[in-house]
Amino acid sequence: MSIRLTILGSGSRGNCAYLETEGVRLLIDAGFSGKRIRERLATIGRTPETLNGILLTHEHSDHTMGLKVIAAKLGIPLYANRLTLDAVSSQTKASFNSKIFHTGQSFEIGDVEVETFSIPHDAQDPVGFLIRSSEGNIGFLTDLGHATRMVLDRVRPAKALVLETNYDLQLLQEDTRRPWSIKQRITSRHGHLSNKAAGEAARELVSDELSHIYMAHLSKDCNDPALAEKTVKQEIAKTGAGHIRIHRTSQDAPCPTLVMSKDPGKEEQGATQGVPVTKKNDPAKTKVLKPTRDTEDTNTPRQPARSPKKAPDALADKQKHQSFFAGLQDTLGDTQEDENND
């Protein structure tokens, strides 16, 4: 048995990851065109039709571009909270096979448990994920302006962590393409993580369990992979830890597949062959553990309500930023799409 992770692509213009176990195949975000996602899945011998679900962190286009083709047309279950789903539905004008969770809730898909938690970013209700499996846990932590103690605690059990390293502060300050307003957005507490901030977060998360860190969501113009890797490694080195592998991600091609297993002999990086999984969209393999009144399955009757496990982060101060940033992005127009997704 094993759990496999392939970063299909990550950067300011698109983000999508593929996760596979014996019982489930999932995408985390779908930030490329449907055609490109299909092409990148093909490099590891997979097709969108076999997916059991798509987990969505938030509604920005570099995480949702392929949803209309991959999720809506194929009927792949889309897991999102209500505010994110409403935003995506409005953007795409599409209807989804939606599985709505309350932020802070945990639920099962096949043989994995998905934990959700709030993160500070200028979106409607952005979340991070910790995906638990018997072979190792994987955390997804991108698109956040700062790493709160709660956020770090939620991904602390991870054996592999996808961590945002969006920009180098000096390169961002020297950039001549982005207006000052965009730079303020990127560096705000609801923007993105710098290399330094990501390194500090990684240092705080060092443990015997954490073995792999994927540097994700790198800005094409305001970062450099070698610089990001150096910064993160320098912070981790302060702890004396030498067992954590740092992996680069690319906007333009999938990364080698990471295979994690309790059997060390089965662990490898670069494998592309998978194992049989359940048929796509098998409803029997999707189970919500902690239903709440805000949790809905649009294809099944509403389950009895219970008190939700709400993430403790206060979101009130985030709301006042949203209308400003939304208007700012509309004003800047499509020609600055990359800048807005940095």
Is 202 inside a domain boundary? Answer: yes
Compute the distance between CA of residue 290 and CA of residue 232 in angstroms, rounded to an integer.
Answer: 36
Is 342 part of any domain? no
Q: Residue 71 has what DSSP assignment? A: I
Rounded CA separation 307/303 (Å): 13
Q: What is the DSSP string of 247-270?
A: EE--SSSPPPPEEE-SSGGG-EES
Query: Which among 274, 280, 278, 279 is positioned nearest to 259, based on CA atoms?
Result: 274
What's residue 304's pLDDT?
A: 37
Residues with Cβ within 8 Å of 168's Cβ and at least 6 positions away in sequence, in order, are 194, 195, 222, 223, 224, 227, 228, 231
Within a domain: residue 226? yes
pLDDT at 266: 66
Q: Is residue 209 part of a domain?
A: yes
112: its two tokens:
């994995």
**62 within domain boundaries:** yes
**Edge-to-edge order in the sheet of strand 14-20:** 268-269, 258-260, 3-11, 14-20, 25-28, 53-55, 78-80, 98-100, 296-297
Domain membership of residue 340 (yes or no) is no
Q: Specify if 182 maps to a domain.
A: yes
Residues 6+ apart with CB under 8 A from 152: 201, 204, 205
- pLDDT score recorded for residue 320: 41
Tracing tokens 């899945």 back to the chain, one arrives at 41
How many domains are contained in the chain?
Answer: 1
What's the domain range around 98? 3-333
DSSP 303-323: PPP----------HHHHHHHH
Residue 232 is inside which H or E element, if any? helix 225-237
Q: Identify whether 338 is part of a domain.
A: no
The answer to whether residues 37 and 8 touch, using CB atoms and an 8 Å cutoff, is yes
* pLDDT in single tens digits along all 342 residues of the chain: 899 999 999 999 999 999 999 999 999 999 999 999 999 999 999 999 999 999 999 999 999 999 999 999 999 999 999 999 999 999 999 999 999 999 999 999 999 999 999 999 999 999 999 999 999 999 999 999 999 999 999 999 999 999 999 999 999 999 999 999 999 999 999 999 999 999 999 999 999 999 999 999 999 999 999 999 999 999 999 999 999 999 999 999 999 999 999 886 666 654 433 333 333 444 334 343 333 333 344 333 333 333 334 433 434 444 444 433 433 333 333 334 444 566
SS (H, E, C) 27-51: EECCCCCHHHHHHHHHCCCCCHHHC
Q: What is the pLDDT of residue 275?
A: 33
Q: Give the bridge partners for 49, in sequence order.
A: none
Look-up: residue for tokens 């592998």? Answer: 245
Residue 212 DSSP one-character state: E
Give the global pTM.
0.81
CATH of the domain at 168: 3.60.15.10
Q: How far is CA 60 from CA 113, 231, 337, in A?
A: 25, 27, 10
Q: What is the pLDDT of residue 262?
A: 86
